[in-house]
Amino acid sequence: MLEILVPGVLLVNGLAAGVLMGTQLGGWPLLQSLPPGRYVHAHAFFSTRFDPFMPICLIGTLAGDAALALLTGPPAATVLFAVAGALALGTVTVSLVKNVPVNRWIRGLDPDHLPEDFAERDPRRHWGGWNRARSAMSVAALAVNCVAVGLLL
Q: Rounded CA gap, 21 and 19, in Å?
A: 5
Task: Give the Cα separation of 77 and 137 in Å (integer).
Answer: 19
Confidence at residue 51, expressed as pLDDT on a 0 to 100 scale: 84
Residues of the chain with pLDDT under 70: none
Give the pLDDT of residue 28.
Answer: 92
